[in-house]
Structure 1
């Protein structure tokens, strides 16, 4: 199925991600390669200047609609001394319901954003580029319904120097993904 990346890409030059593995963090590249030709072709990648990686700056610089960007937020909490992690894919125009939806899903008393150094170390990705592709297999990937229903959405590539563009349904179909209503709060 052909994907119209232009809906989210703004002025970016997007190519199929398997054609540019140099623009993907190692765990992201492995995951996309494992998807094979059919699914990999639905995931595009575009090179950007790293100083424009943060969502608001990225959207302004490249003309990408903010409502077509999704942030991957890493959240953690403890239960019985064991730390539990989750990745939350929320529309860039919202914030994650960390102490509501996420806390209940992780079954912890309190959930919070994972410290930057921990998120980077656990994912093998750069801060500001973390993406649901290539995350640890035991992490749930909570995908807000609005993200899953988007025909094209911009997400991180694992690196600050590139972005992925894909249909939201691809995110909702990841092995650990759960589509969740109300994950992103306005």
Structure 2
């Protein structure tokens, strides 16, 4: 392993380039990073080791000296129209809330949209609850990214597992497969 890359924020005991520690990531996340055609973007993703007992956002930010506005949440939604259900993920800063009833429903052209049940989200993504990340989502899923995330220098997201997080440039999050940046996704 090479020298540890510099962190843009936070105080973590262990961090490394995510590609160097693929064994610490959920399988879909490691696979997505390895296959990401944009090697510069893939190489910009950092992994930080964290305590899953300190996963609550406020406790996490205080424990690891992470600004709340640098933390982003990835939520899975189920959008329905007729008999069809479309699964999608939404990425928004932790200081905001995803507008599921208007922005998500409108963008996905659905009659109804709601947060997906935990079992459905975990089963479909192959990631742990509390660690779902936009990196490594199932093929074909839309990834709706709030414009504030895309504009952020760096954001902290899940790693696919409850232990550990990823830090990546906002522009890299906006370049993930299936990503669409929406100015009104969250508020």
Greater mean deviation of Cα atoms: 47-56 or 83-92: 47-56
Structure 2 gaps of 5+ residues are: none
Q: Deviations over 1:127-161 (max 9, x none)?
A: 11001111111111011111001111100000000
Q: Which of residues 43, 55, 58 is equivalent to 2:57?
A: 55
What's 2:11 paired with?
11
Greater RCO, CA 8 A, separation 6+: 1
Moved over 6 A (4+): none
Residue 168 (1) aligns with residue 170 (2): yes
What TM-score, normalized by structure 2, do the two folds share?
0.92
Task: Quickly say closer, same or farther: Cα 1:121–1:63, change in 2 above 3 A.
Answer: same
Which sections of structure 1, spanning at least 5 residues, go unmatched?
none
TM-score (norm 1): 0.92
1:102 pairs, out of 100, 104, 116, with: 104
Count how many residue pairs are aligned between Structure 1 and Structure 2. 181
CA apart distance, 1:5: 5.8
Which among 149, 153, 172 is matched to residue 151 of structure 1?
153
Pairwise CA RMSD: 1.4
Structure 2 distance, partners of 1:105, 1:35, is 25
User: Is the CA contact 2:32–2:135 (under 8 Å) kept in the aligned structure 1?
Assistant: yes
- CA-to-partner distance for each residue in 1:27-55, whole Å, 9 max, x for gaps? 00000011265332200001111112232
Matched, 1:32 2:33: yes
Residue matched to 2:79:
77
Q: Is contact 1:77–1:106 with CA below 8 Å preserved after alignment?
A: yes
Q: Do 2:132 and 2:161's aligned partners in 1 also have CA atoms closer than 8 Å?
A: yes
Contact 2:96 2:186 (C-alpha < 8 Å) held by counterparts: yes
